[in-house]
Amino acid sequence: MNLPSFAEVRDAAARIAPHALVTPVMRSDRIDALVGAPIVFKCENLQRGGAFKYRGATNAVWSLAEDEAARGVVTHSSGNHGNALAMAARARGVPAHIVVPEGAVKAKLDAIVAAGATVHRCEATTAAREAKAAEVQAQTGAVLVHPYADARVMAGQGTVVPEMLRQAPGLDTVLVPVGGGGLASGCAIAAHGMDPSIVVLAAEPEGADDAARSLEAGARVGPFAPHTICDGLRPLMGEPNFHALRDHNVRVLRVSDAETIAAMRLLWTELRLVVEVSSATVLAAALRYPQYLAGRRIGAVLTGGNVDIDALPW
């Protein structure tokens, strides 16, 4: 199974340091009181490109040998990973090809174009996305950088954990959202590389709970039709990501969309942060599951801020 080691997370941290921001951590007395435990929020919504995805994409792009990089990179994404990969490729001065399915949010498509990538459109199915990416790869020799089932990407996403623990020493619990599982895998590997006693929790929408069901069943469940407002958490968890979460005893906490929207609003009123609805799952989970959080010191990752601010979900 192609998973990164903790040493690769550390290498990734050094590799992305010239490019990615050290995002701030924030906290609130009122949120601590509501959760019943101290909780800090790592503000990847303020990362370049507005999401943690820039870490993984940057690590992948700068991991390539010169001759590989010169042929460019390709991925399929309707969202933050596509934009992050386009930005990372531009920073290195190499071509990026982003396969964007029909129905993608126009603002995200515009951002990908603005970052100088070549956009390839396809139908909005996983099969069509993968077929188009393979076609581009065959034509151009570009290197595929999968949004989450890629060790370089996972290592890059995992860099958020040592950074957060440096900023907020003494955390014993890491809480992240889980969708495809790139962030959750990287963070579990990084957390246990630093301290095997750290508890890693993942928040998942009830309407896209394949990670929870897969871990309960002991085997990865198959494709499903997601029903959640959390667009970033709809993908089926990747196969290597499943293994990472299982091997690192990651507990998945299901939350409803209503709880997540209320948490998104609370992050605004208490911390003046507007985050993507997917990001707010971590606070929703912290509020819903005190049994796993009492007495702990929690670091939660706010994954992104690419929101249509004129169409907030409440």
The residue ranges that bind a second copy (CB under 8 A) are 21, 23-24, 26, 45-46, 50, 268, 271-274, 305-306, 309-310, 312
| Encoded tokens for 181 | 């599982």
Task: Give the residue with the Cβ less far from a second copy, 69 or 111.
Answer: 111
The nearest distance, CB 128 to a second copy, in angstroms, is: 30
Cα separations in angstroms, 161 against 22, 67, 98, 301: 11, 31, 28, 9
The nearest distance, CB 21 to a second copy, in angstroms, is: 8
Pairing of strands 73-76, 96-101: parallel
Task: Give the residue with the Cβ less far from a second copy, 26 or 229.
Answer: 26
Q: Where are the beta strands (DSSP E) in the chain?
A: 25-26, 39-43, 73-76, 96-101, 118-122, 143-144, 173-177, 199-205, 251-255, 298-302
The nearest distance, CB 219 to a second copy, in angstroms, is: 38
The nearest distance, CB 158 to a second copy, in angstroms, is: 22
| Encoded tokens for 299 | 């670091």
Continuous H helices in 181-280: 182-194, 210-217, 239-247, 257-271
**Rounded CA gap, 213 and 295, in Å?**
27
- Residues 101, 129: contact at Cβ < 8 Å? yes
Task: Give the residue with the Cβ less far from a second copy, 272 or 291.
Answer: 272
**Rounded CA gap, 39 and 26, in Å?**
9
- Residues 246, 184: contact at Cβ < 8 Å? no
Task: Give the residue with the Cβ less far from a second copy, 291 or 314.
Answer: 314
Residues present in the chain in total: 314
CA-wise closest residue to 156 among 4, 2, 40, 275: 4
Task: Give the residue with the Cβ less far from a second copy, 123 or 308.
Answer: 308
Task: Give the residue with the Cβ less far from a second copy, 198 or 301.
Answer: 301
- Residues 146, 133: contact at Cβ < 8 Å? no
- Residues 183, 52: contact at Cβ < 8 Å? yes
Task: Give the residue with the Cβ less far from a second copy, 28 or 157.
Answer: 28
Task: Give the residue with the Cβ less far from a second copy, 44 or 259.
Answer: 44
| Encoded tokens for 81 | 């990973």
- Residues 277, 252: contact at Cβ < 8 Å? no
- Residues 301, 183: contact at Cβ < 8 Å? yes
The nearest distance, CB 92 to a second copy, in angstroms, is: 15
The nearest distance, CB 26 to a second copy, in angstroms, is: 7
The nearest distance, CB 228 to a second copy, in angstroms, is: 22
The nearest distance, CB 170 to a second copy, in angstroms, is: 18
